[in-house]
Structure formats: structure tokens, C-alpha cells
Amino acid sequence: MNQFWNQRYKEEAFAYGTQPNAFLYAQLQDLKPGKILFPCEGEGRNSVYAASLNWEVEAFDFSEEGQRKAYQLADSKKVKIYYQVADALKVSYPVDHFDAIVLIYTFFPEPIRKSIHRRMISWLKPGGRLILESFHPNQLNNTSGGPKDISMLCTAEILTDDFADLETIIMEQKIITLDEGPFHQGKAEVMRYVGIKK
């Protein structure tokens, strides 16, 4: 899998564009900047945007090419991010450390998904937000991106269970039109979620 993403991110063009995800963009408008984490961040479009809003940004991904492109984008925008190459199962951060954690199209195999999500909750400060946009299983009917393994896609029931320790602020299933680089184009069915750590 690491080889797949390195190959995708090796191209000169940004696979998912350089603009932030629309849902994330909307969510950050009214939040006071603090410490924010972007797991599985790819080429850095979302973390670089957060940095432009004066967030203190950390990110990780297991793709070296993703890290390279993210730093390239950060340099072009004259912002600073800290981005490490790491596996989501092994990476570690302090408890109660982040004001926000952002999961934009971050997919984990079903056997490990819940445990990874629970660890991420522990990294949030009380009052911190988890912001997520992922594909719903109905996305399998569309050609706008996402894994073809239904167990890696999200429903309201899955998110409610995984983030049971958070206070749900937003939970919505939505049909949208993606325009995020060459690999996210067209009609898509997504889940959007925001939760606050109690």
C-alpha cells in the first residue's frame, strides 16, 4: 500500500489538488487556532491551509512522497507544518494534546479502525474537536474516488460507535460534487462528522 501511494504522489500534479476540502474549510472559519493534527495527510492540502490560518500544524502519513509534496506546498505558501512519515498503528502523541484532529478521506481496515479512532480521541484536549469527512458505502456506486472495500467506508452507526466518547455536533450523510484534483471528481456520497471531547 505504501508503494501505491508513493507512486500516486510521485507525479508532479497534486492528486487531490492544493485547495482545502470544502467541509474542513467551513469548519475552521470560526475556530480559534491552536494545535491541530492531520493523520494520513497525503500531499498536505488541508494541513497547509490550516497553517495559513495560524494553526500549529502536525501531520503524518506513511508516504515519503506525500511528505515531500506537503513540504513543497507549505514552502510555496510560506507557512510551516511539521509532518512525519509514520504508520497510524505506531505513531504516538501525548494525551490531551490537540485542539483539533482532522480526518479527511482517511480509510482504515475494519479490524483496526475503531482502535485507531479511540487512540486519536485520547490525543484531543477536553473541548477539542474531531472533524471528519469520509465516503459512505453508497459511494461504491460512484466513480469520484475512494476504496472499493465497503468495510473501509463510513455510516452514521459506525461513527456513532467509534466516537461514542465525543459529543456529536454534526452527523450528516450528504450527496456532494467533488472537485479535488484528478482523483476526486464528480458526484460523491459522504459522511460528515464533528464531535467534541467532553
The pTM of this model reads 0.97
Residue 1's pLDDT is 65
Q: How confident is the model at residue 2 (pLDDT cuts 50, 70, 90)?
A: confident
Domain of 133 in residue numbering reads as 2-197
Distance CA 37, CA 180 (A): 21
Contacts for 86 with CB less than 8 Å, ≥ 6 apart = 60, 61, 62
Sequence-ordered alpha helix ranges (H) in 11-96: 22-28, 45-52, 64-77
Residue-wise DSSP of 104-150: ES----HHHHHHHHHHHHHHEEEEEEEEEEEE-GGGGG-SS---S-G
pLDDT at 132 over 80: yes
pLDDT in tens, 72-104: 999 999 999 999 999 999 999 999 999 999 999
Residue 152's pLDDT is 96
Number of domains in the chain: 1
pLDDT at 186 over 70: yes
Question: If you average pLDDT over residues 32-57, what whole number do you get?
Answer: 98
CATH classification at residue 160: 3.40.50.150
Of 110, 124, 105, 116, nearest to 166 by C-alpha is 124
C-alpha cell at 100: 483539533
